[in-house]
Each structure stands twice: as structure tokens, then as C-alpha cells.
Structure 1
Amino acid sequence: MSPLPSRRRFIGIAASAAGLSLLPLGRRARAEGHLVTWRGSAMGAAAFLQIHHRDRAAAERLIERSLAEVRRLDAIFSLYRDDSALSVLNRQGMLAAPPVELVAVLEECRRYGERTGGAFDPTVQALWILYRDHFSRPGADPRGPSDDAVRAALSRVGFEHVLFDRNRIAFARRGMGLTLNGIAQGYVTDRVVAILRESGIASSLVDMGESRALGARPDGSPWRIGIADPDGPERIDGIVEAVDRAVATSGAYGFRFDAAGRFNHLLDPRTGASAHRHRSVTAIMPTATAADALSTAFSLLPEERIAAVLRALGTGEVRLIDGKGERRVVTA
């Protein structure tokens, strides 16, 4: 099963080229005063880790430990790997004795699906495959798949048809599939933050596909995380100053199935249509898991519904760029 391309185009404070494998620490880790920095890639996205530590050797060991955890989790969540737990589940429609982390992420999927009225739903993989296959054919109809084809794919969408507990995960309908690209990178980022915090680190910036600041910078100032310009994702549109906060951005510009850009990867599990309501949605939340999931779901929701979700959560901020390029901030 082909992977869902990354929807993230926000610019981390120092993240650069994307790739599919983790780079070794080696000369890419360096001490900058009391900051030790690693840059590479993880889970199909640019990755970045910066730790404030008085002992460079201890910091490098901690980075290696963090990257080992990322590699372990990648073997669970990745759609790029045929042998990952998720790929096996999608291929077989059932997985016995699933990894506890996979069950934990599915529980988070259920939580954010319920919070957003079904806008967050990882079973949209069936829709992604439909659009991918349609537009990969020579002479594909630029209007997209037929209504009948969309309805058929929608019959295989719906998180209520994913049955799971700690012993087993199973799809209730044949042909279903999951993509966790809208939440797994955030979860992995949170796991790295937990490792650092347990090791006594009080100042760090972690980006394993989504960004999360642990504490403030060593000098007490906020970490600065760039948000990409939807008209030119290589440019920075704005800056988020973060202390103990996570930042995730979704935008239709991240991947388009067709040259005209009518069909993008932000697919509505309720209708099968692509998202066009907002050009960019940035969620600022206490955890990267929340920011990741909500930036995906909020791409499909009107501003008033986003505000209602934030009020129910009692936390968070969302920065929107609408179709006219107007910018607004929604808070809890």
C-alpha cells in the first residue's frame, strides 16, 4: 500500500532536507555553547533535535537514545515500510497482539475523532488510494473519480469500523486501511520529549515531523518556530514563539493529486472531498499529538466549529489563513 505523503510544510527552526532514513549522529551533532543539535530525517519528514546540556557527551548519548526510540516507533507506524505493524494490519485486515503504542495511538484517534465530530479519521486511506489510482492513469478525467467510485471508497471509511483492544485490531469491513500520518509524527515527537524530560532535560526543541518545545530556550526566551507561506512553502509566513507548546501546520499545498490542484491529500472522511476551506491551519497545543491531529481535522472545519472544539478542550490556539489570504487567530 502506498504511503500517504506528508502534509506538513511548516518550517522548523532549523529543519532542512527531508528523507526516509535517520542520519547518523556523527559530525551533524555539534555543541553550540550548551546546545547540542542534530538534524536529519525521521518517519518520512525532516527532523530536528536540540538539547541544552552541560555535558556534550551525555547529550549525544541522549540523542542516540531518542533516535533509537524513533526507529522503533517507525517500525510500528510507517506506511513506507512493508514490514511495519501498520502495513501488516492494512494488508491483512487484522493484527493479533498489536504493539501497545499502536493501540495507544488508536485511542488518541478515537478521542480526536469524537472531539471533532468525525473530521479526524485515519481510515481515509481508502479515499487516498482511490484518488492516487485515478490520477496515476493516463488520460485521467480531470474532474476526479466518479461519484460511484467515491461512494464505494466511503463505504470503507469510518473509524467506528476499526475494532481494537490490547489483544487485537481488526477491520469490520473488507478493504479498509489506516494512515496515521496525521497523528503519528506528533506522537513520536511527544515520546522523545518524554525521554528528555525523564532524563532531566529542561530546555529542548524536538521536531520528529511535528515541533514541540520543552521549556524555554536556555536564556529564558521562547523557542521560535516558523510557519510556511502557503504560496511558497520554502518561505516563512510567520513565527510562533513557544514555551512548553507544540506546533503543527496543515495545508492543501502539501500534496495535490492533480496539476490543477483541485484534489489534495486533506480528505474529508464524511464526504470524500478534498479540503479547500483554509489555505493553512496551524494548531498550537500542549502536546504534539494534539497539534498534529487537530491541524488535520481543523482543515475541514469552519472557524466557529474550531472555536467550539478549543473551548471544549479548554486550551490551544489556531492560526488560520483563509482562501483570500486573510489571517485570523482562534483561541480557547
Structure 2
Amino acid sequence: MYTITDKTATVKQLLILLLFLCISAPAFAQQLVTVEGEAQGTYYIIKYLSDDTTSLQHAIDSVFADIDRSLSLYKPGSLINRFNEGNTVRMDQHMQVVVTRSLQISKATVGAFDITVKPLVDAWGFGVHKPAVQKIPAADTLQHILEHVGYRYLQVRGQQLRKKKKGVEIDCNGIAQGYTSDVMARLLEQQGIKNYLVDVGGELCSKGHNQHGKIWTVGIERPAADDNAYPVQELLTLDNRAVTTSGNYRRFFDQGGTRFAHSIDPATGEALHSNIVSVTVVARDAITADGYDNALILMGVEKGVSFIRQHPEYGLEAYFIYKDENGKIQERFSPGFEKMLIR
């Protein structure tokens, strides 16, 4: 299973409210089926409409197991662990899709998203093996690690993944749960299901309508300035799209009056310690949203919004939550995101 990282750290950031939009439409004759459980170190909730109420639990659990055998850093003998321990690996379909998409996003963001950050994640204490006390790694340690970080050190030839430099290791937690949501959606569609909402640890994708004939609606957690107060909700219509969140107020440590969060900059090796609280991204599929939300939180508000405007071909919309100089929670939307909010 997966550790609680920049994706799963925001497990509760996207809460399924299943509220109804104020539009008139008859209820569907099909029944609402809900399958839920725990996998990849987090929860999952899958809701869909079907004439057949036979549980898909076994099929869903089988998919999770397949993905774990491919991409779980916690599973001994997984493909990703075999690659990290060696030099090459023959990828299965899951790894090939995730690695290929990761490299595409790395190039598009000039390395702001990079799956070769695993040694940095470990050094900061956010990896598989948690230290008793987290602390800032020594500067020379980070400098040495950075010599082995860089998506350009990975080579894909067909199904083969190879390291161009010894010591390179990958961590796909920043994109794998979004991919898993997409895979679950395809599983449902293969069963002839046309109306569904899939949530894997807060990474969601949807299609069609709920049992009342309404577009699926989800809530986005908006934390208060003290990080502990009751969250205010923004409501988002999710019409045949995916939404994911990368947040930095649930997984962090404080040292010397500075808060260091689990998003790691692949260029500097530094853990994020900016005023950004979270960024929520909407895209055509969850793997895309999941990969880009990592990059956008590192870019920050202005550069992030500018990136989205300059690259409409990526189909991204984003919602930034940040703290101003007075510590007050503020928000910023890309134009398309704000149109999807219910207010």
C-alpha cells in the first residue's frame, strides 16, 4: 500500500457530499450502489448506478492488488522496488502508463514534477521508513542526493525502464492514486456503467449523474488560519472530469520557527515552506490532475495560474488556498475553475 504523501495526506480534503444541483431532472430508475474500503494506505468510495446490484468488491480489490504489485513501495518484490534496487525492469501496463505520463508532465513543467525525488522524500522523513524525529537534512546530504535526482536519468524503451545513472530511485505516490481512480472508472465502464463517482483517497473522477439525475457534486475543504478549525466548504460540480488536491497542512514538521511540508522541490531538494496551503486541480482525467497538482503547488499562486493560462492544451483548472502576510486564509482561482463552483 502507499504511504501518506502529498496525495494521500489530503485524504479528507475532497469530501463527497453528494449534494444536488438546483436543476430539474427525473430520478434514475437504476439503483445507487456503493462500494467502499481501505487500500493504498487510504480509503476509497465508489458510487455508481446500475440495474445489477451484485457487488463489484472482488473485482475492485483485485485491481488494487494488481496496482500494488506494480507501484507500491511498501510491497516487497513490487516492480517499483525491483527497479529501485536494481538498474532495469520490464514494466507492466500500470507502471508503463504511470511512468510515461509522469515523464510527460515532468517535461511540461520543466521538472517541477519529478518521480525521481524518492531519495529526497526519504531524507526529509516523509518516505516509507519514518524517523523518530524529523529534521532538516544537512546541506551536503541534499547536495549529494540531488546528483541522483532528475527525470532525464530515466529511459523508457518499449516496456523496459532503465536508469541512466546509478542511485536513481523513483516514487510514484504523487500520481499513482489519480491513476488508480482512472483505472476504477474504466472497470465500471467495462461493466456497462455510465454514471459513477470514484474517490481514491481524495482523488476523484466522475461521469454522468447521481441517482437523482443531478451532476455529481463534491466538497473541497477550506482550512482555517489555525489549521485546526472547522473547515468551510466550497462546492464543485464534477461533470465528466477529475479533481485532485495536493495540500501541505496535514503532513509537515516544524523546526526553527519554519514549517516544512512534504512537497519536495526536485530542483533544490528543499521541502516546501511557502505560504501555499493547498491546490486543487480539475482535469480531463485523474492521473493528469494528480501529476500537475504537485507541480502547481511548487510553482505558487501567480506562476501556477499563469502556467494554466499559457497552456490551455493541458485542460487544467486550479484553486489555490494560501496565507497572506497576516496569516489570513486567501483563495485564488483560474477562470474556468470558478465557473464550476456552486455559490
What range is the shorter-chain TM-score in?
Answer: 0.7 to 0.9
Preserved CA contact (<8 Å) 1:189 1:212? yes
The amino acid across from 1:99 in the alignment is: D
Deviation at 1:245, TM superposition (A): 1.3
Counterparts in 2 of 1:191 and 1:261: CA distance versus 1, 3 Å: farther
Preserved CA contact (<8 Å) 1:190 1:289? yes
Preserved CA contact (<8 Å) 1:76 1:99? yes
Q: Aligned residue for 1:85?
A: 79
Preserved CA contact (<8 Å) 2:17 2:217? no
Stretches of structure 2 that go unaligned for 5 or more consecutive residues are 19-28, 337-343
2:171 aligned with 1:185: no
Stretches of structure 1 that go unaligned for 5 or more consecutive residues are 16-31
Counterparts in 2 of 1:3 and 1:42: CA distance versus 1, 3 Å: closer
Q: Aligned residue for 2:332?
A: 328
Counterparts in 2 of 1:263 and 1:303: CA distance versus 1, 3 Å: closer
Distance (Å, rounded) in 2 between the aligned partners of 1:7 and 1:189: 16
Q: Aligned residue for 2:23?
A: none
Preserved CA contact (<8 Å) 1:100 1:166? no
Q: Aligned residue for 2:235?
A: 239
- Calculate the TM-score normalised by the size of structure 2: 0.82
Bigger relative contact order, structure 1 or 2, given CA contacts below 8 A and separation 6+? 2
In the TM superposition, structure 1's runs of 4+ consecutive aligned residues that sit over 6 Å from their partners are: none
Preserved CA contact (<8 Å) 2:68 2:78? yes
SS at match of 1:254: coil
Q: Aligned residue for 2:50?
A: 53
Q: Aligned residue for 1:28?
A: none
Q: Aligned residue for 2:34?
A: 37
Q: Aligned residue for 2:251?
A: 255
Give per-residue Cα distances to partners, 1:98-155, cap 9 Å, x unaligned. Answer: 21221221110011112212111011111111112999366x7x5x222211111111
SS at match of 2:287: helix
Counterparts in 2 of 1:177 and 1:258: CA distance versus 1, 3 Å: farther
Preserved CA contact (<8 Å) 1:285 1:291? yes
Preserved CA contact (<8 Å) 1:216 1:242? no
- Larger mean CA deviation between 256-265 and 242-251 belongs to 256-265
Matches within 5 A, 1:167-206: 167-206=159-198
SS at match of 1:273: coil
The amino acid across from 2:162 in the alignment is: A
Count how many residue pairs are aligned between Structure 1 and Structure 2.
308
Give per-residue Cα distances to partners, 1:222-244, cap 9 Å, x unaligned. Answer: 22222233424974532222111
2:131 aligned with 1:136: yes
Preserved CA contact (<8 Å) 2:222 2:321? no
Give per-residue Cα distances to partners, 1:276-317, cap 9 Å, x unaligned. Answer: 241110001111101111111111013343234323144232
Deviation at 1:187, TM superposition (A): 0.7
Distance (Å, rounded) in 1 between the aligned partners of 2:122 and 2:108: 26
Task: Find 2:138's aligned residue among 136, 142, 146.
Answer: 146
Deviation at 1:321, TM superposition (A): 0.7
Query: Identity over aligned residues, as a percent?
Result: 27
Preserved CA contact (<8 Å) 1:48 1:207? yes
Q: Aligned residue for 2:59?
A: 65
- Larger mean CA deviation between 178-187 and 69-78 belongs to 69-78
Distance (Å, rounded) in 2 between the aligned partners of 1:175 and 1:107: 20
SS at match of 2:107: helix
Deviation at 1:221, TM superposition (A): 1.6
Distance (Å, rounded) in 1 between the aligned partners of 2:132 and 2:191: 51
Q: Aligned residue for 2:93?
A: 100
Q: Aligned residue for 1:299?
A: 297
Give per-residue Cα distances to partners, 1:153-195, cap 9 Å, x unaligned. Answer: 1111100001122342122222221111111111111011112
Preserved CA contact (<8 Å) 1:42 1:70? yes
What CA RMSD, in Å, does the superposition of the two structures yield over aligned residues? 2.6
The amino acid across from 1:39 in the alignment is: E
Distance (Å, rounded) in 1 between the aligned partners of 2:40 and 2:94: 15
Counterparts in 2 of 1:154 and 1:161: CA distance versus 1, 3 Å: same
Distance (Å, rounded) in 1 between the aligned partners of 2:276 and 2:306: 17
Distance (Å, rounded) in 2 between the aligned partners of 1:302 and 1:204: 33
Distance (Å, rounded) in 2 between the aligned partners of 1:234 and 1:41: 25
